Amino acid sequence: MAYYRVKNGGTATGDAGRSATVGSGSFATLGAANYYNDIQDAIDNSTTSPVAGDTIQVSDLHAFTTTNIITYTNVAPSPFFIVSVDDANIDAARTSGNRASEICTSTSNDINFFNNFISGVEFESGDNISFRDTNTVEDCKFTTLNSDDVAVYLAGAHNSAFLINCEIALNNTNATGSVITGGSLFDMRGGSVTTTTGGTNQFFNVSADNGGATISMEGVDLSAVTGTIYRNSGGSQTQDDTINIRFDMCKLATGVAFANEVFKNQFQRLIATRCSDSSTAAEYQYHAHIYGGNVNDDDSIFRNEDEPFTESNQKISYEIVTNADVSLGSPLWFDFPILR
């Protein structure tokens, strides 16, 4: 097990920024000659490359900016750990509100992740932030600046991104949270989508071809998305493949739409439970956007004999609205929710 130290301004070459022990004290005590200038520098230019079980310790005051492509190539199947640590105590996790940050200001160069495990780092791009292979990120922030930028770009065959308590900052009205193709997976637990523009038009702008897309979001604050959450996919029976989407306990903006196209295949389903702009009403919210139509909760029509929901004391029914695609041979179907 080895440790690699990173902070902008570092001048370490070879294995000068590598240690066999976790170390202690501050980056100032280490001195610039004993830490690398950026994360990619530590991965690509150390004499002994990091392997499974190793850790890259990045100062929480690290602030690296470049116009070049940034690529973090980890090892599979067990990646080394990239983590933001306290600048004053290298052996401790960051304790302040600071995150280490790496920024690519170019509008034509991406930030690329290959099979990474990262905690506590902010990434900002003037173009896309691309995820290949399997990536797990915790307590990170992904910021895009321009209208055609994508914060979590999952293009290609069978890639996956697992986000835990992360922030996706879309600082342009027309920026996109994620694009997913090729049977890739987007999974986000906790965290939020934010914006400096007063709202974004979309989060997912997807072409679910070449294997489709799988999406799971649980406990995510999506209230910054004021247009459509899942946009421009599902309306082509020949182009769009499997669409499997699940939202649960997500905070929404008032009037936001879940999808803007009618799903045209039986294996395309978007299910949202307990997602609302109101915490009081969240427990009984249900929406299914599926082949053949939609299913929604209705709190104005219900049987008095029904048991109310615990927190809201609300009774509901489920309204099913079918479209012209439904037939005896291709019915609308859904799993009856059990939310009490």
State how far the alpha carbon of 321 is from the alpha carbons of 119, 237, 306, in Å.
44, 20, 22
Of 164, 165, 207, 156, the closest CA to residue 184 belongs to 156
Q: Is pLDDT of 337 > 90?
A: no
pLDDT in tens, 10-37: 999 999 999 999 999 999 999 999 999 9
Please compute, for residue 95, the number of CA atoms within 13 A of its CA located in the half-sphere on the CB side.
7
Instruction: Classify residue 284 by its DSSP letter.
Output: G
Chain centroid to CA 191: 9
Q: Is pLDDT of 149 > 70?
A: yes
Residue 264 and residue 233: Cα distance in Å, rounded?
A: 10
Residue 250 and residue 265: Cα distance in Å, rounded?
A: 26
Kindly tell me the sign of the dihedral angle through the C-alpha atoms of 150, 122, 140, 286.
negative
Please compute, for residue 192, the number of CA atoms within 13 A of its CA located in the half-sphere on the CB side.
9
Q: Which two three-digit tokens encode residue 109?
A: 């160069």
65's CB contacts (< 8 A; 6+ apart) are 102, 103, 104, 105
Domain ranges of the chain: 128-322
More confident site: 196 or 81: 81
The residues facing 129 across adjacent strands are: 111
279's CB contacts (< 8 A; 6+ apart) are none
Q: What is residue 119's predicted lDDT score, i.e. its pLDDT?
A: 97
Considering the entire predicted model, what is its pTM? 0.92
Which band of pLDDT confidence, cut at 50, 70 and 90, is reported for residue 253?
A: very high
Q: Is pLDDT of 179 > 60?
A: yes
328's CB contacts (< 8 A; 6+ apart) are none
Kindly tell me the sign of the dihedral angle through the C-alpha atoms of 207, 102, 251, 134.
positive
CB 117 within 8 Å of CB 74 = yes
β-pairing, 141-144 with 167-170? parallel
* 222-258: b (≥16 Cβ within 10 Å) or e: bbbbbbbbbbbbbeeeeebbebbbebbbbbbbeebeb
Please name the helix (run of DSSP H) or strand (run of DSSP E) that holds residue 27, with its range, or none.
Answer: helix 27-30
Q: What is residue 71's predicted lDDT score, i.e. its pLDDT?
A: 95
Q: Is pLDDT of 234 > 70?
A: no
Q: What is the percent of the chain where pLDDT is above 70?
A: 96
Of 159, 211, 157, 215, the closest CA to residue 188 belongs to 215
Average pLDDT, the chain: 91
pLDDT in tens, 62-89: 999 999 999 999 998 899 999 999 999 9
The residues facing 167 across adjacent strands are: 141, 192
pLDDT in tens, 264-309: 888 889 999 999 998 888 999 999 999 999 999 999 998 888 888 8
Residue 125 and residue 117: Cα distance in Å, rounded?
A: 19
CB 243 within 8 Å of CB 208 = yes
Collapsed DSSP state (helix, strand, coil) of residue 283: helix
